[in-house]
Amino acid sequence: MRPDQHFSIPPRSSSGIDSSATSRRYTLRRAAGAPLWSVRADRSLIRGGQFSYLQPLATDLLAGIALDTPDDVRVLSDRDVGLVEWDTLAAAARTNLLSEPVNYDTFDLPGGAVLHILGHPESVFAASKVLVFDEAVRASDGPEIPDEGVLLVVPNRHNLVFYPLTDRHVAEAANALAEFGQGAYEDGPGRLSPRVFWWRAGTLTSITLFDQESRTMRISPPDELMTIMRRLVGTAS
């Protein structure tokens, strides 16, 4: 799978998630321990040879299944996932991730852009909501996601910050996301990536380039995204 290839996990059951029962299931899951899909940053897991099932999600990021218990959170190994029918395990991990409580908030920038935040200081799975992004945003009563997608950052496990590609403030939003992503990544804990990503229809693509000599980074959108950004700015003017 290429780093920018569409990533998908088995859908939840047709019965869906009853939001009124979320807190109850959350308590039961914490008590017994359960699998959740999780975004990871450590590629040494693959080099170790025990986590070959982990899938590349985007530059710097991997997707795997973690077991969350009252005592710790650990990534399941190849041996672990081999003990259970894969589709059943993956679907359960998806449902549990969608059930993970997060807060939704917005932040207004001086120039008019609005950033949207999914996060929780006590959850190490908030950023992993990117794996079920559109459903997670709807469940949190967030904004409608446009066909053009969103720009987002997942600097650590506790925060997912995004900007829907809907208005002329896209340049301000991209710069603010880059600044926040770098700062939150450096602050830690639970580092994932300082990069800005373009999410569109389940595909996550890095739009950040690093200059190794100067040790600086800059936003470099692919041609398709640049066309979208120019259209948004041009339509407003």
Q: DSSP letters along 50-103, please?
A: S-TT-EEEETTEEEEEEEE-SS-EEE--HHHHTTS-HHHHHHHHHHHHHHS--E
Judged by average pLDDT, the poorest of 27-36, 79-88, 223-232 is 27-36
Q: For residue 28, what are the CA distances in angstroms to 21, 32, 61, 82, 99?
A: 11, 6, 29, 24, 12
10 DSSP 8-state letter: P
Structure confidence at residue 48 as a pLDDT band (50, 70, 90): low
Nearest to 207 by CA among 175, 185, 160: 175
User: What pLDDT was estimated at residue 148?
Assistant: 98
- The tokens of 180 are what? 């926040």
- The tokens of 97 are what? 């991730």
Query: Residue 135: CB partners within 8 Å, gap ≥ 6?
Result: 98
Q: What percent of the chain lies above the pLDDT cut of 90?
A: 74
By CB neighbour count within 10 A (0-12 exposed, 13-18 middle, 19+ buried), where does 3 fall? middle
Structure confidence at residue 94 as a pLDDT band (50, 70, 90): very high
Q: Given CA atoms 30, 34, 37, 41 in this order, what sign does their dihedral have?
A: positive
Answer whether residue 91 shows pLDDT above 90. Answer: yes
Instruction: Please tell me the pTM assigned to this model.
Output: 0.84
Computed over every residue of the chain, the mean pLDDT equals 86
Report, as an integer, the average pLDDT of 77-100.
Answer: 96
How many Cβ atoms sit within 10 Å of the Cβ of residue 204? 27
- The tokens of 149 are what? 């997608």
CA 224 to chain centre: 21
Nearest to 169 by CA among 222, 235, 233: 233
204 DSSP 8-state letter: E
Answer whether residue 154 shows pLDDT above 70. Answer: yes
- Distance (Å, whole) CA 81 – CA 140: 30
Structure confidence at residue 13 as a pLDDT band (50, 70, 90): very low
180-214 pLDDT, tens per residue?
Answer: 999 999 997 899 999 999 999 999 999 999 887 77
- The tokens of 26 are what? 């959350």
User: What pLDDT was estimated at residue 63?
Assistant: 96
User: What pLDDT was estimated at residue 17?
Assistant: 29
Judged by average pLDDT, the poorest of 10-19, 31-40, 41-50 is 10-19
